[in-house]
Every structure is written in C-alpha cells, then in structure tokens.
Amino acid sequence: LSLLSSSLVLHLKKQEADMHTPRGSLIPREVETPKELQLRVTPVEVKFQDTMAGKVYRQSITVHNVGRSNQKIRFLEPAKPQFKLVLPSMDKEIASGLQMTAIVEYHPNTNEDISDQLFIAVGNKAVEVPLIGLIPACQLEIKPDVDFGTLVANSKVYSKEVKIINRGKAPGMFTTKYQGQLPIVVSPSDGIVEPKSSKIIKVDFCADQPSLVNEVAIVSLQGRPDVLLYIRVRVVEQILELLNMNGNQKLECIHFGCTFFGTSKIEHAFLFNNSPELINWVAIIQNDSVGEELGTNMQQRTDVAINNLAFIRKIKNLDITTFISCVPNEGRLPPYQKTKITFCFSPKVITEGKKDYDPSHRQDYAVFVRFDSVGSKDGFLRDDNSKTIKNEQFQKLELALTGSGLPVIMQFNSGSFLTFPTCSFGECSEISFIMKNRSKLLPVMYHFRKTANFRVKPERGNIDAGCIQEVTCSFMPHQVGAFTVKQYIDFIGPVADKNFQSLLLRPFYHIHLVFKGACKISNKKVVFQINPGISPIATNPTGQFVVKDLTKYKECAPVAMLQSALTTIHNHKSSKDSVQDALIAFPNDRTASIRPGDQEKHFRTIFTKVPRHNYVDTEFTYTDSEVLKKKAHEDYYKNYIDSLRKVRLQKKAGKSKEDVYAYDDLDIGLYPASGLKSPTLLKSDLEVVVPPLIQSVKPYQMLCTRNIETKEAKALERKVTRALKSTPSTLSEKRDCKLILTPKQIHQVIVGPSVLNFGDICVNSINTHRLHVVNMLPKYILLHLDVNLKELQKTKQFSYVIPPSSSTHISVIFHSSTAEKFWKSFTFRVNNIPGGHLLVRANIMPVRLELSSDEVVLKPHGFLLKTCFRETVTLHNYQNYLVRFEWIPVNTERGMSFSIRPSKGIVEPYSSLECEVTWLPGFSAPDKGEFILQVDEGNTMTLKCVAHVMISLEYEFYFEGSKLVGICVCRVVGYV
C-alpha cells in the first residue's frame, strides 16, 4: 500500500504538470507500466469529446494479459464523482493471453473540462489511465503561408485569401495583427468562426517598390498558441527592353549613318516585356532633351554656327515625327514576350534661304525615344504628400537614334546648258560631258528620263562617292525646227513604303539640264512615185514616196499605166441606193471584204460606186432579237447617264440661284407676331458641333512631348465646371463613345493623381478627394470608374462623358466605419477599354479626444466661497469628425465635491472646448476627485482634480484692565 500511495502521489504531480499542455491534445501521455507487469491497456487515455452537462457518456477500456502466467488485478475507482467505473467486481484475475473489458461512464454536471485518473493495480504496482472530459470546443486551423509570387512594382494592390477552418463544435475567436512597416493589410483584424465552417481573411499587399518581402503576421486562434502567418512576395520592376535581332544584346542607341535627303534607312529591334504582367506601351519622342540635335552640322566650325543662329532657331521648331518613325509605336505586350519594332529614318532638307548646296551642307540628328506604359499619369497632378508615386517605379526605356542627312550634289563639266550643233532631217549630232558625284560618303544612282529628239548613253547607272561618269547625249530630230527642252535626271534610292516596313527603290530627287538644238530643211530633190490607185502590198499609209527608196529610182519613178479608153472598167451604171449612207472601200481592202463585218454598214468602190461584197458569218453574227436586246441595253445606260447629268445641272442651277437671291424680296403679307409659332426644338437639334481643336494623329505618326504639352495646355484652358453626363445622349457623343481607342489615344487621356491619399481621417467621417481628368483627344470619351469598394460608394456617379479637348475634376467620396490602414486600388476604363488603375490610401483612426492636462490643481480665485476654487481643462479634437463626450464623476466613500461643466457635449472637427472644474469647500468635502471622460465610440480618459487647502489660526490680543485676553480666529486659506 505504501508503494501504491507513493505511486499515486507521483501521478498526481504528473497530472498537475500535464494540465499545462495544450487543451485537447491527442498526444498520448506516458504510462508508467513496468515490464514485469506484462499488461497492455487500450486505450492508454480515455477522452470524452464535446460533452455537455446532464448527459451520460461511456467508453470501454480493455486490459490484455500478455504474460505467461495468470495475473490478479484490481481497479481503483476515480476520485472525482463525474467518472464512474461500471464493473461488478473490482478484483479480477486474467489468464495468460486473455483480456477483459471495463466500462467508464462520465456524468458531467457543469460545462467545464474535468480530468482524473483510473489506476489498475497489480500487486504493489499500478498502471495509470488518464480520464479526460472535454466540453464542446473550437478547433481552429489556418494555412501558415501566403505566397503572392512575383509581382510588378506598379502601386497596385493585390489580394490573397486565407481560410480559417473550425473543425470543432463550438465557435472560435481569432485576431490578426501585423506590426511591420510595409503596405500590408490583414482584414478583418478579429472575428468568430462558427462550428464546422470557415472564414476568409484577406491579405492585401501594395506593390509599391521592388523588393523581396518575407514578413510575418501574428494570428491568435482560440484554444491554440499563436500562429505565424508568413507573407512572401517578390516585387520586380516593370521592365521593357530593346534587344537586337539576335536577341542577345540590349540596345541603347541605333546609328542610321548617312543617307541622302529624301531617302530612308530602316533598322529593326525586338521589344521585350521582361516582367510577369501584360503591359500597354506607347513610344514617344522626347523634345528639348539633353543631347538632342536637330539638323545641325556637327562638323561645322563654331564661328560659322554662331553666325547662323537664325537657322538654328528655325530647326528647333522642327516636327521630329516627320522624319523619325517607329512601327508599331503602340501595342499590348504579354508577359515575357517579344515584338518586332521597325525604326525608320527619313531626313528632309531644311533650306537656309539658298538653293545651291555644297558637300559640307549636312544635317545631323540625335533624338531620343521613350517607351511609356499606358495608364494613370501624374504630371502636374502629382500628389507630393504621398510617398508612393505610381509609374515612378516603371523603368523608363529610352533609346537614342542618330543619323545624318546629305544633299545630292552633281557637277557637270559643261554646265547645265548644252547646245547641240545644227543638223538636217535624218542626221544626228552628239555632245559628251562628264558628270561627277561630289558626295564623299555615298554613291548615287541616276536615270535620265526619255526626251523627244534626244538620247542619252548610258541612260542609267551608278556613280561612286567622289567619282565621275562620262555621258554622251545625241540630238536626233524627227521634225524641222528649233528645240529647247529640259532633260530631267532622276536619282534613285531606298524610299520607305507607306507602312514604313520595307524599302523600295524609287526616285527621290531630280535635277534638269537644258538641251538646245535645231533641225534645218533638207535640200535634196525628191522624185515622187506615181500611185495609179492600186497600191502595192508594202507601202506607207499615204502611198507617197519614201526617202530611203530614192536610190532605187534615180532615173524615174515607176508608174502603173492603163489605157482607160480601151477598157470598160468604168462603164457601170450608178446606183443611188448604193451611194446613200455608203462608206468608201479602198482598192487594197480585200482582206476587209472577206471577214465578218457590221451588217448596218455598206461599202462602195471609190470610182464606180459599186457595192462591195460584205461577208456575213451566220454562226457568229447577231440575231435580230440579240440586236434589239443590245440596243435596249445601250439605251438604258445612256438614259441613266443623261438623268445624272440632268440632276447635276439642276443642282448647280439651284445653288447659283440661292446665291444670287439670298433673301426673299417677295412680300406675301405676313406680319411679325401674327400668331405663327416656332417649331419645338428636339434635344438633337440643340447639339453644338464642336470643331476639332487638335488634328488627330496619323496611325504611323509618333507622339512627341511637345505636341502632348500643347494639347494638354489647350485642354486645361477649357475647363468643364458644369455637371457631367453619366451616359452619352447626342448622336456625336454616342458615335465617339463607341470608338475603340488605341493605347496611343488612351495615353492622351490623363486621369490623376494616381494615388488618392486621404491621409489621417476619422471613422465615419466624410472625406472628398479631387480626381482630375484631362481629355486631349478631339472627340468625346466615356470614362468609367470600376469601383467595387464599399468605402467609395458614397461617390455620386462613376461614369462621365468628357467633352473633347477639355479638363474637369471628379469628387471621390471616402467613408469608412472601421479603424484600419486602408490600401486598395480600382481600375478605370476609357470607352470600355482598360486605361489603368488608381491607388486609394487612408489611415482610418478611431474617434479620440485629447486633454490639455490629465490633472487639474484648483487654487482660489476671488473671495466668494462657491466660486473661488475653479479651473479649466481643454478638450482638443484634432480629427476631421465631430466627437460626443460625457464626464462621469467617480464617487468615493467621502462623496464628490467637484463638479464640471459642460458635463457632456460635442467637439467640432479641428476645434477645442474648455470645461470648467469647480470645487465646493465643506467640512467633510474631499480635496481630491476624479472624472472619467467617455468618448462616444472612442477612447476613455481620467481627469484627476486636486484642491490645495490650508487652515490657519490667527490670534488677536487686547487688555481688559490689567488682564491679557486672547481671541482665536479660524480662517480657511487657499495654499498658494
């Protein structure tokens, strides 16, 4: 028994130590079972889960004899009455290899956790079986990791959801707390999870700058130790890269080299989105940037450049987009994808007031192209109070483009005016000259245009830089007279097509030479050939003598002769029918007489007027019906053309009549205000057609900062102060708001600031922030704010029709009833096209009042007993919401002798209120007291009041005869 009692003491100490383990732990407790007992108890721990008072719960326990001999055991009943061992006899004997089962009942009488032990004694040793009764409890679980993955630093708020699961049968409470400095918000901060359900908590993270985040938030779960919630994020910059065509090297500059004015050079590159998010991009030429050169001659001496300041000022206003192009210059690029970009350089000559250029007249260019992301832009709307500025983290891609333009300068040793020797008809005269390419850098390809009576050899060719070419010009007149013509020389080079994607060899420049020549009349005698009317097979159209045949007929011209008196070739009767509407058939048109002809045409011979035979092919000729059908078809189109002409002439005549008679001079007898009413105007009739202030940008024309600044300045001058429509109503508004805008057009719509920072605000306060909108497009746009945040639902409207080339502002209203740090973002659309997102920041604080002092010392002021002890305390409201308060005195055993007024009231935002504390002296009045300041839905503070009081005794002496008499006077004096 002594051993048993000592064992019980040890187990009681162990039970006390086990009470510090987590509640409801399923970890088996250590059971002290000596090996010599050879007993196996199942289960080693009896646990009653989810018990309720007034009910009975049972569990069985099995004791197995694993020894080789019989063992006598004794069950010792639990000490607590809630546990009961249901067994007929406490003493049992178990044979080797057998087992027995006992029932343990649990009768809870209260809803609390109870624990006890059941001992199974074998001789002087015992085995402990813990008994545990647990009331219904929560069993909360949470996943300890939140991984956002890789995000882009664009000041956008990303959210992840984490579930808290309650697997128990009782509600469970939880709290969340993040104490770091990063823009991380865990909401809700506390809550209750119902049994067999789950609750979602949101983790919001604002990716404002590139970093590697590994933060910890503390989640306190009821019935469990605190859980560390690990928040992991990898934030990278939104990077656009320009790579060469091999894709293995970044491009920072593209050198086009030298090219002639009017020609083009093309270079290609890959634009690579090296970030995990889709990006809308646009290419913009930067004006007035450091290092920019526009048309200046970098090889020119300084003194020459200083003397030509007027030309330098002229080229500063040059539109760069006319000779620098980028195709495409806008688009959408998926994550980690590439797109091919084509850069085209097409220099154009800028005149200096002179027409002749020398080889030193060159124009060098160095411009910079920036690739921007499309979205909300700050510009002049930047919020300087916000440390998080959107788009600052976007690594702006800048590319330098350099090139030089050279003029085509040709030199002719004989000058530009050539006079050919006079020659006769059929003769030729020649002049040779040397053409030199004065350019020292580029070869030139030339082509002489065809000119009547002149020939040039070689007609086309190439001349290398600084080289010459000998050219022979021939004058071969085809008629008599003097000739002065311009011989144009076209220079051919690579010129970009209209899409700026490829180069084509085309003339880009031309000059001309003046050729002068004369052809004199020939003095040779020409003997004409006689044509008897029957022409030979080969003859000229007129049947006349050809000059080249003169040598064959030096003696005389051969003539076919026939004696008409001896023949009857002309003895035919003339037919009047054959002569009427008949055409003359020449003697040599035999081939025409045997081919199918028009049946309506009749031919006669030239002399005898005999009708010529007209062959008709019956297989291919038109039938009568086909002839009529063809005639009707021709008449139909003829009448249609005549009707169009008639209508056009009538319109022209009516317009001219209106111009002449602008006003009706005819008096029809109507008097003013005689009862006629004006027609009712419709809403569509009241539409004001706004002329486009700014011309739209061509598809292949790039944006430049100078043009954007000009458009922005004009839009800012036209401010819209009236209420804006939420939906388009007029025809022009509906037409414009349906247009699908490109990224380049969306880039000309400014919505900002990108961060709506409301700062430190109070719970339940109404806060307004202005959102500026600048529409630089010459058309209406429909701006829609995709706001699904309950804190912004008090905003009046979320859709706005913005007029063309105008600016306005939108009032965004923020209201929240929860004290927290607020980081949220929402997107906006322009004509239903995503345009970007805006970040909303706020530090929402609970209602709070501050005391000027937490202790008030009352000193006497004046001589009136009721009012001499008084002092004031000031309540400060430094927030933007009114605060209701009430003073509650703290009563003690001696009572309360202090009073304060006003005892309750309201403190307006950003104002103060003084409260007066008064102490009423009395025989038993306490000189100390306290007031509790209770703020409605806010903080609670305590004000201590102390009255400094001292009782002084004053004595007055006087003599009554020879006896000294003293009088004691008691006065209450304040302690100063």
Among 17-26, 692-701, 892-901, the minimum mean pLDDT is found in: 17-26
Q: Could you say which DSSP state residue 384 is in?
A: T
Q: Contacts by 580-585 with C-beta closer than 8 Å and gap 24+?
A: 582/609, 582/611, 585/612
Q: Over 70: is that where the pLDDT of 868 sits?
A: yes
In the prediction, which pLDDT does 558 show? 43
Q: How far is CA 915 from CA 413, 873, 879, 882, 899, in A?
A: 108, 5, 19, 17, 10
3-state secondary structure of 116: strand
Per-residue pLDDT tens over the stretch 298-336? 777 776 666 666 767 777 777 888 889 999 999 999 999
Mean pLDDT, rounded, of the chain: 80
Residues 6 or more apart in contact with residue 286 via CB below 8 angstroms: 292, 367, 368, 369, 370, 398, 704, 705
Give the type of residue at 753. P
Higher pLDDT, residue 29 or 585: 585
Q: Which residues are paired to 63 by β-bridges?
A: 41, 100
Per-residue pLDDT tens over the stretch 755-774? 999 999 999 999 999 999 99
In the prediction, which pLDDT does 490 show? 95
In the prediction, which pLDDT does 596 show? 62
Distance CA 103, CA 708 (A): 89
In the prediction, which pLDDT does 120 show? 87
Beginning with the edge strand found earlier in the chain, give each strand of the sheet holding 172-177 in spatial order.
145-152, 227-236, 211-221, 172-177, 190-193
Nearest to 741 by CA among 782, 700, 712, 772: 782
CA dihedral 889, 892, 896, 899 (to 10 degrees): -20
Per-residue pLDDT tens over the stretch 549-571? 444 444 444 443 444 444 455 55
Per-residue pLDDT tens over the stretch 236-278? 988 889 999 988 899 999 999 999 999 999 999 999 999 898 9
Q: Over 80: is that where the pLDDT of 96 sits?
A: yes
pTM: 0.67
Per-residue pLDDT tens over the stretch 363-410? 889 999 999 888 756 543 444 444 444 444 455 789 999 999 999 999
Distance CA 170, CA 137 (A): 5
Split at pLDDT 50, 70, 90, the class of 523 is: low
Q: Give the torsion sign (CA, 293, 297, 298, 302).
A: negative
Rounded to an integer, the average pLDDT of 846-868 is 80
In the prediction, which pLDDT does 674 show? 57
Half-sphere exposure of 46 (CA within 13 A, CB side): 27
Rounded to an integer, the average pLDDT of 932-946 is 91
Split at pLDDT 50, 70, 90, the class of 200 is: very high
3-state secondary structure of 315: helix
Beta-sheet pairing, 855-858 with 240-243? unpaired
Give the type of residue at 72. K
Split at pLDDT 50, 70, 90, the class of 39 is: confident
Q: How far is CA 674 from CA 663, 668, 677, 681, in A?
A: 21, 13, 9, 21
Distance CA 698, CA 319 (A): 14
Is the Cβ–Cβ distance between 537 and 589 less than 8 Å? no
In the prediction, which pLDDT does 785 show? 94
Is the Cβ–Cβ distance between 275 and 237 less than 8 Å? yes
Nearest to 573 by CA among 603, 604, 602, 610: 610
Distance CA 515, CA 429 (A): 12
Among 106-120, 430-444, 533-547, the minimum mean pLDDT is found in: 533-547
Per-residue pLDDT tens over the stretch 644-677? 999 999 888 876 554 444 444 455 565 555 566 6
Domains, the chain, ranges and CATH? 2-133 (2.60.40.10), 140-236 (2.60.40.10), 240-406 (2.60.40.10), 410-520 (2.60.40.10), 528-568 (no CATH), 572-622 (no CATH), 718-845 (2.60.40.10), 850-952 (2.60.40.10)
